[in-house]
Amino acid sequence: MKLFAIQHIGNVCLLLFVFCGTIFAQDSTKNAPQKSVSDVVGSLGSVLDLEENLSFLQAANEIIASLHDIHEVAMSKEEDMVKKMTHNGNLRRIMNKVVECRIPFQSPGATTTTKEHEYLSSFIAVLDSINNTYNLRYNSNLSYEIAIFGYTDQRGTEAKNKEIADSRAKNSATFLAKMAKEKNLKLNISTIQGKPNESPDGKASCEKDDPSCRVCKIVLVRLLP
């Protein structure tokens, strides 16, 4: 029990470190307005519940730290852009498939409730924060391309699980598109797919009643100026 508590406190501290790094990167922008933690990530409580999404927040912090390089690529000629992305492994990783975020479903079904909406809103809030920082520096906006995959545990039939997985992906995509439109984010959802026979971790399959498999996985496929 003590070990678990120590690990939990460590995870929360690391989360707050990432948040603070993101805010510092933003506030170092000339004339950038002050932003609170909740401004950056939306619902702080929901993100802290998602400790497995720490890599998502770390990746967002890396993007903000690399906005100058991303802008340089945008301003260069096409052949220079290809050359830079080819030779700069970090930049290539940041502009392609850097962010992966999981949205847990609180019930066995596919309906997005207030809790799922909090998680999805937090994802959009971070993308919005990145875009706002870029816009303040360069008076331009970023474009995001994402893919959404729905998963299930193995409690139902194959046909029913396929239906639920597809619906989870579609319902999440609908909410994300609505949120992006409200914030004037350039968001292209290129893939909406249910994967009932797979697990989000790449395991052979999910166990029956496994909550870690009742999720949607959002992947940032591409980020471009």
Per-residue pLDDT tens digits for 96-155: 767 788 888 877 778 888 888 888 988 898 899 899 999 999 999 999 999 999 998 888
CA–CA separation, 186 and 144 (whole Å): 6
CA–CA separation, 196 and 164 (whole Å): 8
User: Which tokens sit at 217?
Assistant: 């996985």
The CATH class of the 2-224 domain is: alpha beta
Three-state SS string across 132-194, please?
HHHHHHHCCCCEEEEEEEECCCCCCCHHHHHHHHHHHHHHHHHHHHHHHHHCCCEEEEEEEEE
**Average confidence score pLDDT of the chain:** 76
pLDDT at 149 (0 to 100): 95
User: Which tokens sit at 41?
Assistant: 């990530």
- For the purposes of burial, counting CB atoms within 10 Å of the CB of 91, is it exposed (0-12), middle (13-18) or buried (19 or more)? middle
- Overall average pLDDT of the 74-82 stretch: 76
User: Which tokens sit at 2?
Assistant: 């003590």
Helix (H) or strand (E) holding 117: helix 114-138
Q: What type of residue sits at position 174?
A: T
pLDDT band per the 50, 70, 90 thresholds, residue 61 = confident
Q: Is the dihedral of CA 43, 107, 207, 198 positive or negative?
A: negative
Residue 146's nearest CA partner among 167, 182, 175 is 175
CA–CA separation, 119 and 129 (whole Å): 15
Which region, left, alpha or beta, applies to residue 31 given φ > 0 means left and ψ of -120 to 50 means alpha? left
SS3 assignment, position 87: helix
Helix (H) or strand (E) holding 8: helix 2-27
- Overall average pLDDT of the 38-47 stretch: 47
Q: Greater confidence, 189 or 105?
A: 189
- pLDDT over 70 at 24, yes or no: no
SS3 assignment, position 198: coil
Residue 209's nearest CA partner among 143, 161, 171 is 161
Ranges 1-15, 29-43, 125-139: which has the least confidence = 1-15
- pLDDT over 60 at 60, yes or no: yes
Question: Helices 114-138 and 54-65: crossing angle, nearest 10°?
Answer: 10
